[in-house]
Every structure is written in structure tokens, then in C-alpha cells.
């Protein structure tokens, strides 16, 4: 209803019964209209209130979700940090292992070079001996010839023609109790950066090692320069072949001794640059490493 007049004033201003009736009807219509308007407003207000509540609930849910997301983010970055730590730790361990392995490979190579030098020196000394022997024989022959010419009796040549026992050329397996090969001839891997010069026999500590063939012991025990090989026994088989067993816990022969094929020469160990008990068995033909499997 609009205007400042009250319902009573409107009714009192009627100038006839009909006019009064008209005014009453008009007032009733206005009141009904107002009432429905009020109902509409009330329901709209209720709806707005409902919506407001829903919005507030949504806002709370959104806030809760945001909190949960940031909590999860925090948790996740914690995991990421932890994983990164593990990765860093692992790569540190890897590089330390790599340098240990490089170090081991370097030492092994140094020992291998030292033993190569030993072979070369040994070969040279044998050659020298041969030359000296030949010279001695030649001069003896000369003397003998001149003595004969002079009519005297000849001088017998008592010098032997070679170094010690001559092997058969075929060898027996040096570790009778174990046939397991852990590293093959020529093998290159994480531990052996250069081709392996022999075969490694994975025998247990203390297993017996025997002479692969008969011959003369030319190296027994640990030597300067080739410490990496640990306790070694090398046998000159007299036919250009030298066999060598390394990393022994102890040796059972001494240098210069003549040994028979199959005779005990030492025991399996892990002396020198070795990662566990094994027998490194190598064969050299005129100083050059050859595959031992071709001789056993
Ligand atoms: Zn080896």
C-alpha cells in the first residue's frame, strides 16, 4: 500500500454506502496483494538465507580442501626431499665404490706389469745362460781339438744341457678339489680392467694346489713388485712353458726345487690383491700368457 493515509481515513472519506463498499473491496484487494507480496518476500528471504548457508558451507569445504591440499603438498615435498637424500646417498656410495674398484684395477694392473717384467727378466737370464753355455762348450771343444792335435787326452764335457726337469707339455688341474672357474682367460669385467692373464679357480681357503707338470720352481712366496699376486709358485717346465699359481695362503716348495707333476706346491688363500680365496692359475709360453685350458 502506498501513500500516508490509513485504512480508517480511507473508509471514513466514503460519501455513500456504495462508495464505502467499493472502498472496502479496494482495501481488501490491496491487503491481499500486500499479503502475497509479504509471502513472496519471506520465501525469497528464506531462499537467500538457504543459499547463503550453502555458500558458507561451500566456502568452508573449499577452505578445508585448501588446507588438506597444502598439507599433502608439504607431505609430498617431504617425500621428494627424502628420495633426493637417498639418491644422493646412493650416488655417493656408487662413486666411492667406483673409485675403490678403479684403485683395485690399478693395483692389479701394476702387479700384472711387475710379473710381466719378472718373466721378461727370467727369460733374458735363461737366454744369457744358454749363450754362456754355448760359448763355454765352444771354447772347450776348441781346447779339446787343440789338445787332440797336441796328442793329449780330451777333456770330458760334464756340463748338463738344460735347466732342470723337462715337463710333459700336458698339465693336470692345479686344484684337484675344485673345478669352478670364477674368471676366465682374457675376461674383462668391473674387477679386471685388462684381459685376465689366467683363470681363477674359486676353491675354498686351504685347498691343496699341485704342480701342473714337472719342472723347476723358479719363484716361491711373495716377491717385491708383484705383491698383488700374494704368495706365488712359478714352475719352469723347461719346454718354454712356465705355470704360475697365485694368492696362496702358504707355499710348500722353495725356489730352485725340482717338483714332480701332481706334487703339492701350496694352499689356496687370498693373499695380495684378491677379493676372496681363489687360485689364480696362469701359463706362459715363452713369456706370453696363453689360455691354461689348452694345456689341461
Ligand atoms: Zn686372477
CB 210 within 8 A of CB 294: no
Count of domains observed in the chain: 2
- 45 and 82 in one domain? yes
Q: What is the CATH number of the domain that holds 187?
A: 2.70.70.10
Q: Is residue 197 part of a domain?
A: yes
Domain extent at residue 95: 1-151
Q: Please say which residue of 105, 120, 151 terminates a domain.
A: 151
**Quick one: 218 and 171 in the same domain?**
yes
Output the CA 203–ligand 1 centroid distance in Å: 12
Percent of the chain with pLDDT over 90: 53
Q: How far is the CA of 169 from the centre of ligand 1 (A)?
A: 22
Residues 102, 143: one domain? yes
Q: Count CA within 13 A, CB hemisphere, residue 241.
A: 23
Q: What is the pLDDT of residue 4?
A: 63
d(CA 283, ligand 1 centre) in Å: 12
Claim to verify: residue 146 and residue 186 sit in the same structural domain = no
Q: Ligand 1 centroid vs 187 CA: distance in angstroms?
A: 10
The three three-digit cell numbers of residue 135, written as one number: 760359448
Distance 229 CA to ligand 1 centre (A): 9
Contact of 233 with 217, CB cutoff 8 Å: yes
Query: Is there a single domain that holds both residue 121 and residue 177?
Result: no
Asked if residue 233 belongs to a domain, the reply is yes
Residues 137 and 268 in one domain: no
Q: What does the pLDDT look like over 115-174, one tens digit per residue?
A: 888 888 888 888 898 899 999 988 888 887 776 666 544 443 333 334 455 778 889 999
Closest alpha carbon to 234 in 293, 287, 179: 287
| pLDDT tens digits along 210-266 | 999 999 999 999 877 778 899 999 999 988 899 999 999 999 999 999 999 999 999
Given a cut of 50, whether residue 71 has pLDDT beyond it is: yes
Whether residues 44 and 95 share a domain: the answer is yes
Domain shared by 192 and 256, yes or no: yes
Last residue of a domain, one of 95, 116, 151: 151
Where b means 16+ CB within 10 Å and e means fewer, 210-230 reads: bbbbbbbbbbbbbbeebbbbb
Residue 55 burial class via C-beta count within 10 angstroms: exposed 0-12, middle 13-18, buried 19 and up: exposed
Based on the fold, state whether residues 113 and 207 are members of the same structural domain: no
Cβ atoms of 174 and 182 closer than 8 Å: no
Residues 52 and 189 grouped into a single domain: no
pLDDT of residue 114: 82
- Ligand 1 center from residue 284 Cα (angstroms): 14
Residues 180 and 135 both lie in one domain: no
Pairing of strands 241-251, 264-268: antiparallel
Among 64-78, 87-101, 259-273, the range scoring the smallest mean pLDDT is 87-101
Domain assignment present for 156: no
How far, in Å, is the centroid of ligand 1 from the Cα of 171? 18
Q: State how far Cα 67 lies from the chain centre.
A: 45
User: Could you tell me if 52 and 80 lie in one domain?
Assistant: yes
Q: Can you say whether residue 3 is alpha, beta or left, with left for phi > 0 and alpha for psi between -120 and 50 degrees?
A: left
In this structure, how many other beta carbons lie within 10 angstroms of the beta carbon of residue 296? Answer: 16
pLDDT at 158: 36
Amino acid at each position: 500500500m502506498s501513500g500516508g493515509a490509513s485504512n480508517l481515513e480511507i473508509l471514513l472519506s466514503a460519501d455513500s454506502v456504495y462508495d464505502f463498499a467499493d472502498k472496502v473491496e479496494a482495501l481488501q484487494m490491496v491487503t491481499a496483494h500486500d499479503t502475497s507480496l509479504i509471502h513472496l518476500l519471506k520465501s525469497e528471504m528464506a531462499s537467500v538465507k538457504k543459499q547463503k548457508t550453502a555458500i558458507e558451507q561451500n566456502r568452508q569445504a573449499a577452505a578445508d580442501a585448501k588446507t588438506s591440499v597444502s598439507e599433502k603438498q608439504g607431505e609430498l615435498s617431504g617425500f621428494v626431499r627424502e628420495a633426493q637424500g637417498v639418491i644422493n646417498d646412493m650416488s655417493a656410495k656408487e662413486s666411492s665404490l667406483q673409485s675403490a674398484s678403479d684403485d683395485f684395477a690399478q693395483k692389479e694392473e701394476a702387479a700384472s706389469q711387475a710379473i710381466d717384467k719378472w718373466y721378461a727378466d727370467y727369460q733374458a737370464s735363461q737366454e744369457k745362460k744358454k749363450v754362456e753355455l754355448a760359448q763355454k762348450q765352444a771354447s772347450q771343444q776348441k781346447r779339446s781339438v787343440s789338445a787332440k792335435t797336441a796328442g793329449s787326452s780330451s777333456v770330458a764335457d760334464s756340463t748338463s744341457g738344460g735347466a732342470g726337469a723337462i715337463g710333459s707339455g700336458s698339465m693336470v688341474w692345479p686344484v684337484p678339489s675344485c673345478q669352478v672357474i670364477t674368471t676366465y682367460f682374457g675376461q674383462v669385467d668391473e674387477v679386471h680392467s685388462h684381459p685376465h692373464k689366467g683363470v681363477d679357480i674359486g676353491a675354498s681357503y686351504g685347498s691343496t694346489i699341485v704342480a701342473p707338470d714337472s719342472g723347476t720352481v723358479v719363484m716361491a712366496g711373495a716377491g717385491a713388485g708383484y705383491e698383488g699376486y700374494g704368495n706365488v709358485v712359478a714352475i719352469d717346465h723347461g719346454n718354454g712353458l712356465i705355470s704360475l699359481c697365485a694368492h696362496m695362503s702358504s707355499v710348500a716348495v722353495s725356489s730352485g726345487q725340482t717338483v714332480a707333476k701332481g706334487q703339492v706346491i701350496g694352499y689356496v688363500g687370498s693373499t695380495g690383491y684378491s677379493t676372496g680365496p681363489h687360485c689364480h692359475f696362469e701359463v706362459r709360453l715363452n713369456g706370453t700368457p696363453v689360455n691354461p685350458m689348452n694345456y689341461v
